[in-house]
Amino acid sequence: MAVTSFNIDSKLEQTLETLKAHYHASSKAEILRKAVALLNVASRSEQEDGSIIIRQNGRDVKIILR
């Protein structure tokens, strides 16, 4: 497995820690792998304007990814 290193700011650090706890993940790397997998899925549903539609609280919400 390749090893990659990068710097993150405190806000992203806290977000990763929160997601790690929420998903009972063993590491922040696991959360980053899940995030990349989700973005990969989203990219397959991306519209020409860079948006995707998600369902939130029973309503469709347009999210702009670009």
**Tell me, what's the pLDDT at 1?**
79
| pLDDT above 90: residue 36 | yes
Rounded CA-CA distance 46/66 in Å is 10
What mean pLDDT, rounded, does the chain reach? 94
Mean pLDDT of the region 13-33: 97
Residue with tokens 């899940």: 34
Sign, CA dihedral 33-38-42-44, equals: positive
Which pTM was predicted? 0.79
| pLDDT above 90: residue 18 | yes
Rounded CA-CA distance 29/58 in Å is 32
Rounded CA-CA distance 56/66 in Å is 20
